[in-house]
Amino acid sequence: MSFVPELPLDVRALEALLPHRYPFLLVDRVVEFEAHKRVRAIKNVTINEPFFQGHFPGHPIMPGVLIIEAMAQVGGMLLMSAVPDPEKKVVYFTSLNNVKWRRPVKPGDQLRFELELLQVRGMMCKMQGVAKVDGEVVCEAEMGAMVRDK
């Protein structure tokens, strides 16, 4: 049976679907979802994020790897829509390709993630994602992932 969420999914619903918890749950809301195809989600970036204490004092910038991690979390939900018994599974990312960061993400920005499932073969998949702030692409990547039993 495929996973099809009732939208929008807030952080409490996300905690029921993803294994991540504070401070590593990096998605606030899922706003669009088309099973087996695409997903759109939001991350509100605030000065209260723990990583801003050290990255960088006096010049807070969201680490690029955490933008990719947030994108991967959104993509994990998309992948779960394509597998049977998703509550018994976990997603592991296996590759990142063509990763590009276009501009820094700062406190007060709202990241909007758009991910598309490109290919599913058994328990492996490929997806493509972008992160935008105010309609401008700030990060993009192609990702590979696999689903395994918990």
Which residues are designated catalytic? 55
Burial code (b: 16+ CB inside 10 Å, e: under 16) for 101-130 equals beeebeeebebbbbbebeebeebebbbbbb
Which residue shows structure tokens 């490929």?
126
Distance of CA 121 to the CA centre of its chain: 21
| Whether 13 contacts 33, CB under 8 Å | no
Q: Supply angle C-alpha 86, 112, 139, rounded to 5.
A: 100
Residue 23: both structure tokens together: 């401070």
Q: What are phi and psi of 15, to 5 degrees?
A: -65, -25
